[in-house]
Amino acid sequence: MIKYAKMAEELNYESFWVHDSYFFRDAVSYLSGLALSTSRIKLGSACVNTVTRHPVLTAMTFATLDEISNQRMILGIGLGGFPWLPKIGLKVFPLNESKPKVRISESISIIRSLLHGETLSMKGKFFTVDNISLMVVPKREIPFYISSFGPETLKMAPRIADGVVISPGVNTAEWIRDMTRFIDEGEKKYGKKIDRASYILCSVAEKREDAISVMKKFPFVIYQIAEVIKPETLVPYGVSEKSLHVVKEFWRKHDLQGASEAIPDEAVTAVTLTGTPNEVLENLEKYKKVGVDMPILSPIGDIPKAIQTFAPKQ
């Protein structure tokens, strides 16, 4: 990870973002190492969550990270991933009971107050603090990005955040466009413009079929196509619901290889940036046109090639 961050910095990328995906590696540990190994590139979390990280701990953590990075940190925060939340006892649905919007709002309110150097007492639905302040306060305003694709949370984002991270990384440009409309609504209501970031999974190779082969075998892509993405979303790309039904059947039998082989090429290229360097650069423009200010490129396969392909032009 440090090698890739250094490479991105040398190629003049604006920022480098780290997942906090359970149950893999810890984002905060990564960010600490990256902060000490780079000097210019901004560093972001997308996202730490409001369930396992109490807002007081998150405030302490990012005050520290911003200090050791010389004021380069971006705090991306969200509810957390649906698949793992029930495994630790958190009921996600129905939303009118779990109230993710309230949880995120309370968490950001506490974190922001503490990072401003305030002494805080507050009793909320999810979090209570009593006469707490930080001994170490950041030298500047740390940007907040909310990671979500919930309509109500996206509408709320302009009120309490500086940006959003819209997508889990696998979706069409049209779907992203639909999500940005909720942000538009919030910006109009609160009179504030915010950044629009989106993870976009990518695979780059000199031969298109090689890039597609890598992407088809990636378990997260198989899961998204089999379980999450609505079949009708892919019909305009020439993907039949019948072909997706075959993918779903293999997935439900826990046959990853069968599911991988059954995925149509068109499904992969519709929801990711996959192909030759020229193809992925051309398709990236589609995401920019629908309102993505900050594409967060998430490469698999030949990662150095992807980093080089998407590098900002000098």
Residue 218 lies in a domain: no
Residue 255 belongs to some domain of the structure: no
Nearest Cα to 292, choosing from 183, 209, 143, 208? 183
245 falls in which pLDDT band (50, 70, 90)? very high
Give the model's pLDDT for residue 314.
66
Specify if 260 maps to a domain: no
Q: In this structure, is residue 230 part of a structural domain?
A: no
Query: CATH number for the domain including 20?
Result: 3.20.20.30
CB–CB of 13/72 below 8 Å? Answer: no
Q: What is the mean pLDDT of residues 95-102?
A: 89
- Segment 134-158 shows an average pLDDT of 96
Answer yes or no: is pLDDT of 305 > 90: yes
Q: Could you tell me if residue 23 is inside a domain? A: yes
299 is a domain residue: yes
With 0.85 as the threshold, say if the pTM is over it.
Answer: yes
Residue 268 burial (10 A CB sphere; 0-12, 13-18, 19+): buried
pLDDT at residue 147, rounded to an integer? 95
Residue where the block lists tokens 């907040």: 144
**179: domain range?**
2-201+275-309
Residue 221 within any structural domain of the chain = no
Please give the pLDDT value at position 96: 86
**Number of independent structural domains in the chain:** 1
Q: Is the pLDDT of residue 91 over 90?
A: no
Report pLDDT digits (tens) over 184-220.
Answer: 999 999 999 999 999 999 999 999 999 999 999 999 9
Q: How confident is the model at residue 83 (pLDDT cuts 50, 70, 90)?
A: confident
In angstroms, the CA 180 to CA 164 distance is 10
Question: What is the band of 115 on the pLDDT scale with cuts at 50, 70, 90?
Answer: very high
Q: Does the residue 26 lie in any domain? A: yes
Paired tokens of 139: 């030298």
